[in-house]
Structure formats: structure tokens, C-alpha cells
Amino acid sequence: MEFSALDLTFDVCIMSALLVLGKIIRTRVPLLQNLFIPSALIAGFIGIILGPFCLNWVPLSSQASSYAGILIAVLFATLYLGRRSQGSFKEMFRQVGDTFMLNGAAEVLQYGIALVLGGILVTTVFQGVTEWFPILMPGGFVGGHGTAAAIGSVFEEGGWAEATTVGQTFATFGLLGGIISGIIAINYCANKGWTTEIRKVKDMPEEVRVGLVPEKDRTPMGENTVNPMSIDPLAWHVALVMVAVGGAYLINAGLKILFPQVSVPVYGIALLVGVVLFAFLKLIKLDSYVDQRVVSRIGSCATDYLVAFGVATININV
């Protein structure tokens, strides 16, 4: 069936409605608050139930499963666009180096175990399973729904039609597992007296648990860095992000022509294009008109839709 701009509009409208519903449910259900389940994840599960693989009440298009792979490129395009240097590399590493090394070790360990153990199992015990399967487990667990979609789309081009669904399933279980096990760990450590900031999860501020910020505690999302008479400030920042995304897809298309056997993830290219674009803006003295907070909100918005679409389009039959 032909895909149209109206199909895309309906998909976004449907998912927006599910995000609103997920947010309302989050503000009313204490269990979801205490587990810190994101509204996007709630929306995704509602989408599964109402979607084409269960009740079939929500008419998401056949292309809805591909949006997560696009949105991850939008997210990565925002990571360094507008980010200014915060001191020397030595000072930065002193502040976050231990966290970086811990996260890096955990990621390498997850990929290593999955590839080695998974590689052994799919060649001995589960011989009917494709040899690409093991890479999707850490791709989903570590990378999340965006990385799972990116890797899955590459495998789909290689002939494995169910790859994205498998990756999104791993990402969903990874997200849930990380949240729930993290809450259990926090409660255990708090009971042992090992924590310094909180004693119980229930002692967290209400705005953190419920997700609604009281009026007295609200902060601005960003600044108007350009005059709306020339271009809307939000449009200016969205345009910059989409230039980086579009550039990434153009470069990726060129790389496929030059190296047809190599597949480079678009989101990685988008990050680099964002860096180059911001360097160009610095060169022409326009970098001060990019508000990193606004760019960050654009990336966070893309993440919410990414997770919601990624979960909602999981093929339950697979």
C-alpha cells in the first residue's frame, strides 16, 4: 500500500495521543511513579495492545516501525550542536572520567559476552537462529530503541525481516530491567544506609515521582536567540538539527555508492555532521545564537517519540 504524507501525519497524531494518555496514567498510578516508568514506555505498551498485532484498534501505518531509526539520527544530531567547551579535557575527565570508564567497561562487557556466548550457542544449540542474533541483544540493552532500530534496519536490508522487532524487544526488556533493578538497588542501598542523597524511593520529591513540576519550581526551556520577525526561534533550532540529519543521510547515501558492502549507521554520521555544522557557525560568528538547552529539548522530544514508536510497533507474532 502506498505511503503518503497523510499516513505520516496520522502516525504522529496517534502516537501523540498515546503519549498524552501515558502521561495522564503516570500521574495517576502510584506503582508506575514509584518504578519511574517513562510516559513514552507506557504509551508504547498501550500502542502494542491497541495496535495491529493485538486489538487492531489503532491504525498505525506500515512505515511506523521505521521511525525509531530516523529519530535516533535526530537525537544524535543534537548531542554536540550548541555545546560549548567547559574547560580543559583534563578537567572534564577528572569530573566524569570514572563514570565514563565504568559505562565503557559495562558496554564492552555486554557486547563481548553476547558475541562470544551467543556465537557459540547459535552454532551449537540453536542452529536454526541467524548468526546475526547475538549482536541485537546488547544493541538493544546498551543502545536502546534507537540503536536497535539502526542495527535492525541494516539486518533487514541483508534479508532478516524480523531484525528490528527482535532488537526493539531487547531494548524494551533492557529499559524495563534497568529501571526496575535500579529501583530495587536504590531501596536496598538506602535500607543499608549506603546512600547520601535519599533514604527511600518514596522520599524522592513529588515532581520527580509524578512528573509534574509545581509553578514555583519551573525553569525556562531556553532563550529566544533570534527575532521571531525573521525566523521563529524554535524553527531556527529545528532547522539546524534537520540540516545535520539531512547531511547525514546524504553522506550515508554517498558511502553506500562508494562502499556497497559497508553499512555505516546514520546516527553516528549525524553526530559528526552536527559537530561540523556548529564549527561552521562558529566560523561565521553565529554560534552564540544557538541555545544548547533548546537543542537538547528537541533531542529529548525525539527520544520520547522514538521509544514510543519502537515499543508500539513490536511485532508480537515474531
* Number of other CB atoms surrounding residue 265 within 10 Å: 21
Residue 193 backbone zone (phi > 0: left; psi -120 to 50: alpha; other: beta): left
Specify if 318 maps to a domain.
Answer: no
Distance between CA atoms of 116 and 111, rounded to whole angstroms?
Answer: 8
Specify if 126 maps to a domain.
Answer: yes
What does the chain come to in residues? 318
Domain that holds residue 17: 5-195+225-312
**pLDDT confidence of residue 86:** 63
Specify if 55 maps to a domain.
Answer: yes
Integer CA distances (angstroms), 200 to 15, 49, 193, 208, 274, in order: 34, 33, 10, 13, 40
Specify if 102 maps to a domain.
Answer: yes
Residue with C-alpha cell 514506555?
A: 41
Most confident by average pLDDT, 82-91, 212-221, 237-246: 237-246
Is 64:309 a contact under the CB 8 Å cutoff? yes
Residue type, 264: V
Is 9:38 a contact under the CB 8 Å cutoff? no
Specify if 42 maps to a domain.
Answer: yes
pLDDT digits (tens, 9 = 90+) for 190-224: 888 888 776 666 677 778 888 888 888 888 999 99
Specify if 205 maps to a domain.
Answer: no
Specify if 68 maps to a domain.
Answer: yes
Integer CA distances (angstroms), 8 to 12, 48, 152, 159, 185, in order: 6, 18, 21, 25, 41
Residue with C-alpha cell 555532521?
A: 273
Residue 83 per-residue DSSP state: P
Query: With 70 as the cut, is the pLDDT of residue 87 above it?
Result: no
pLDDT digits (tens, 9 = 90+) for 283-300: 999 999 999 999 999 999
Specify if 203 maps to a domain.
Answer: no
Residue 128 per-residue DSSP state: T
- Based on the structure, what is the number of domains in the chain? 1
% of the chain with per-residue pLDDT over 70:
96
Predicted model pTM = 0.85
**pLDDT confidence of residue 100:** 84
Q: In the structure, what pLDDT confidence band is assigned to residue 33 with cuts at 50, 70 and 90?
A: confident
